[in-house]
Structure 1
Amino acid sequence: MGNPSKRPSIWEALFPIVFLMVLLVINIKVFGTEGLSGSNQLVLIISAAVAGLIAAFRLNVKWEVLQDGMINSISSAMSSILILLLIGALAGTWMLSGIVPAMIYYGLKVLNPTVFLVAACIVCGVVSIATGSSWTTVATVGVALLGIGKALGFSEGLIGGAIISGAYFGDKMSPLSDTTNLAPAMAGTDLFTHIKHMMKTTIPSILITLVIFAVIGVMGNPEGTIGQVEEISTVISDTFAINGWLFIVPVVVILLIIKKVPAIPVLLSGAILGAIFALIFQQEVIHNLAVILDIEGGVSLQSFKIMMIALYGETSIITSNEIVNELLITGGMSGMLYTVWLILCAMAFGGIMEVSGMLRVIAEAVIRKVNSVGSLIAATAGTGLFFNVTTSDQYLAILVPGRMYADVYRKRGLKGENLSRTLEDSATVTSVLIPWNTCGATQASVLGVATLTYAPFCFFNIISPIMTILFGYMNWGINYYSKKEMKLINEEEIVA
């Protein structure tokens, strides 16, 4: 962080946040779900400018310091941006190769409207635990489940809520997850103590979520009919060469993730394998696209160009069924550019807020209001959400509160797993509910469902922070240091 010559007041620190929130409310009212196309990005840039003006003229922070803060903040998101672009490429080749259509085809054979939402949530949870990645789960299995759910007649917001609820449950509980490793590291506890402690709040949260989805499945009345589902299945099988060999690609991707291969090479491998399988199994689809796009030349030239378009651009496969046509559209890497733009603007705003000291002032003001275990946990959860909103980054929402509250928890006799659990119950799961957060923007782009459309149905993500606050105030599942341990901690602090 820079060294502003003047400490910001709480009102100076809050003004850019309030300005951002007011402008976003107006923007959402005017543009609705189209805000991601550019207006949300401009709101963040304008808000960053307001924060910069306060930092420069009220706090005497030099432009070079503000610029470095923005650059460092954006740099921290570069891996997420690369992953996002590769997810776009993977989605393109997986659609063209028939992998996603095959998932939809077989899914329609085994799922029915009554159990679909529960099944979607559980499947995404299991895959996310196995892979440790909610992003990969949503981009692969989630996309297929969205297609199945739409074919069954469910609204895309409700389907998205079930997918994301399961994916983020699995992400939280997986020892392979980066956030599940980051939270205990910040709180000063070990990974498996952290996971075991999380079960106390996470299991009730996911059980309540599944009950809600089960009730909706039983009581709901989706618009899809058996005849419509059969027609969709027939159209998919007539358009693509559907077979079990196609599932080799997602299995390979999942195995690579389980082997802890980094996400970028995994996704690139998945995209390339998708292209290879398209060349092997979907020559007729490639030929038809070449005719529609009026691509001249021999088979090899046509195939090469179609593969490249699937990786970087929009691919639309036309059938006789309008519902299927909606399922068979992908944007490739270019379809992710609005989201990349949003992330860059959000990180610029967060960088100025952090380097100017404004975020620190707000955080310290929160800590001063804490007077009980319940209020401490509530403050931690609220701070995680606050940093998701202001820094637009899930990792900062874990890192900064983790550093802020570690000593406070220790001095109050609370073991580190209480802090790490609260960070996960708030920062990890709420990130996907914020439209301009890297997680919210990414999942909206991957699923093609606006954040504010799916957010009300992400019951697990909404219940989790409420559950952890309830446990805090009721003093349930809280681990305390013994008197002997506290004596040792106090002696160590005196020596230090």
Structure 2
Amino acid sequence: MKNERKKGSLYALLPLAVFLLLFVGSGIITGDFYKMPVLVAFIISTAVALLSNRKESMNKKMDVFCKGAGNSDIISMCIIFLLAGAFGTVTKTIGGVDSIVNLSLSILPANLVVVGLFLIGCFISLSMGTSVGTIAAIAPIGIGVAEATGIPVALVLGAVVGGAMFGDNLSMISDTTIAAVRTQGCELKDKFKVNFSIVLPAAIITVILIAVKTSSYNVELNEVYTYELIKIVPYLVVLIGALLGINVFVLLSGGTIFASLVGIYTGSFDLFGAIESINVGMSGMFELSMISITIGGLVELIKLNGGIDFILYFISGRIKSKKGAEIGIAALASIVDLCTANNTIAIVMAGPLAKNISDEFKIDPRRSASILDIFSACWQGIIPYGAQLLTAAGLVAISPVEIIPYLYYPGLMGIFGILAILFGVPKLKSSNTSENIA
């Protein structure tokens, strides 16, 4: 099979090189890796792809681009992004995040408060599907704890970032999870089960490390924390519904409506306030949706020009086993995330190629989706120029590099991801759920 594969064209990968040059180059020059808008960089790269193939007419190339951009998986993914944005904004607006944080702080023993911040981060990010939003919500509390107890603020923020990355990697409404399952063709609940079994040991060890590291500090919580249990219920409904296998479109739509009714019932907003929150949430996903659509078209152009064939020929010539192919997918996700500093975009970019590799070497889509998500999240939670560390460090005016030694969970997540590949765990039964999640 390997000998029959087309060699493809290295030149066809020029658009990706242009993207990296624009995005990474501008970051190095300006010191701000978000100075160059990602969508603009991809549009320019698409123009390069359109102009670099002189064998095909422009009409043919535009048809190919539109076919890729309008792929059913891409459009479905964009709709899920919009619904997830609506749900996340509505639940946050009604005070769901504050209730989760305050409930957790109310029941936690004072001497385990930093461990508690990690666990709170795990639950909030699992519920909200956003690591940056979780960090923004919890980090100010962590900073206050550090000031009151003398625990190094970098250690506390490391725990917060770790918890945020736990849910970012696993949440049913996380951009990364949605992108991983859509590009690999598996069920949300199946990917969650495989992914969870790999990273659970990392979370347990993180709890132990944080507890040991903070055991010598005297911690007291004198504040009374108020919360409303009803505002936490929408998160539980979506989480349980996803695990039960409810259609994701139905689940997110129903969850948004339910959260809106809770908000109206509790007086958080009226009907039009709920509609406004839904609109704000969806609007926040417009750029990501357009990026996904553009990448879908760009990948199809690269495929037309022989770029995908070249990568597969190059990789297949060096991969001798399924395990090697999984390492290749992990490396692919890692490299793209290190270059883009955005784990969602890394998965959207690497996903189609990872799917081709997994099909070639008969890798279960649940594993390929988990590997993509784990390794992109691992590096995203460590790189000092990523939004996660920049957000955490910016709240207390320290260098993101100071937090890195305390990023126990992201590092352990990567380690256990490697161990899962090397030892072939978890062992998966053959599955017929290779259909799309819709």
TM-score w.r.t. structure 1 length? 0.60
Change (3 A) 1:78 1:94: same
- Deviation string, structure 1 residues 170-222 (Cα, Å, up to 9, x no partner): 87xxxx99968997989xxxx79x959x95x655544555455556656899x
- 1:391 and 1:397 in contact (8 A); partners too: no
- 1:44 and 1:345 in contact (8 A); partners too: yes
Match of 2:90 among 90, 93, 105: 93
Whole-angstrom distance in 2 between the partners of 1:449 and 1:41: 25
- 1:61 and 1:356 in contact (8 A); partners too: no
Residue 243 of structure 1 is matched in structure 2 by 228
Residue 287 of structure 2 is matched in structure 1 by 338
Alignment of 1:161-310 (within 5 A): 161-168=162-169, 195=194, 202=199, 205-211=202-208, 213-214=210-211, 226=221, 230=223, 233=225, 242-282=227-267, 286=269, 303-310=270-277
Letter aligned with residue 343 of structure 1: S
1:401: Cα distance to partner?
1.5
| Greater relative contact order structure (CA < 8 Å, 6+ sep) | 2
- 2:135 and 2:391 in contact (8 A); partners too: no
Residue 279 of structure 2 is matched in structure 1 by 312
- 1:73 and 1:350 in contact (8 A); partners too: yes
- 2:135 and 2:392 in contact (8 A); partners too: no
1:264: Cα distance to partner?
2.2
Match of 1:81 among 78, 81, 87: 78
- 1:381 and 1:426 in contact (8 A); partners too: yes
Whole-angstrom distance in 2 between the partners of 1:449 and 1:65: 47
Q: Indicate the SS of the match to 2:129.
A: helix
1:41: Cα distance to partner?
1.4
Whole-angstrom distance in 2 between the partners of 1:345 and 1:219: 52
Quick check: 1:25 aligned with 2:14? no
Q: Tell me the number of residue pairs that the alignment of Structure 1 and Structure 2 aligns.
A: 381
Alignment of 1:433-448 (within 5 A): none
Of 455-464 and 359-368, the range deviating more from structure 2:
455-464
- 2:347 and 2:373 in contact (8 A); partners too: no
- Structure 2's unaligned 5+ residue stretches are 1-5, 144-152, 338-344, 381-385, 394-399, 428-438
Match of 1:41 among 39, 42, 56: 39
Of 273-282 and 69-78, the range deviating more from structure 2:
69-78
Whole-angstrom distance in 1 between the partners of 2:334 and 2:142: 34
Q: Indicate the SS of the match to 1:77.
A: helix
- 2:180 and 2:351 in contact (8 A); partners too: yes
1:358: Cα distance to partner?
0.1
Residue 405 of structure 1 is matched in structure 2 by 361
Whole-angstrom distance in 2 between the partners of 1:448 and 1:204: 27
Letter aligned with residue 253 of structure 1: V
Quick one: percent identity of the two aligned structures?
Answer: 16
- 2:329 and 2:354 in contact (8 A); partners too: no
Letter aligned with residue 350 of structure 1: V
- 1:165 and 1:458 in contact (8 A); partners too: no
- 2:12 and 2:307 in contact (8 A); partners too: yes
Whole-angstrom distance in 1 between the partners of 2:94 and 2:169: 28
Residue 101 of structure 2 is matched in structure 1 by 104
1:274: Cα distance to partner?
2.1
Residue 351 of structure 1 is matched in structure 2 by 300
1:404: Cα distance to partner?
2.7
1:405: Cα distance to partner?
2.5
- 1:86 and 1:267 in contact (8 A); partners too: yes
Whole-angstrom distance in 1 between the partners of 2:378 and 2:58: 32
- 1:118 and 1:214 in contact (8 A); partners too: yes
Coordinate RMSD, CA, aligned: 4.9
- Structure 1's unaligned 5+ residue stretches are 1-5, 129-133, 287-302, 314-331, 407-415, 436-442, 481-496
Whole-angstrom distance in 2 between the partners of 1:208 and 1:69: 48
- Deviation string, structure 1 residues 24-60 (Cα, Å, up to 9, x no partner): 112334372644xx72211111122223322x13xx2
Whole-angstrom distance in 2 between the partners of 1:81 and 1:177: 9
TM-score w.r.t. structure 2 length? 0.66
Change (3 A) 1:208 1:347: farther
Letter aligned with residue 307 of structure 1: A
Whole-angstrom distance in 2 between the partners of 1:393 and 1:106: 38
- Deviation string, structure 1 residues 377-410 (Cα, Å, up to 9, x no partner): 533432455677777256525422102333xxxx
Residue 149 of structure 2 is matched in structure 1 by none
> Which of these two proteins has the greater Rg computed from alpha carbons?
1
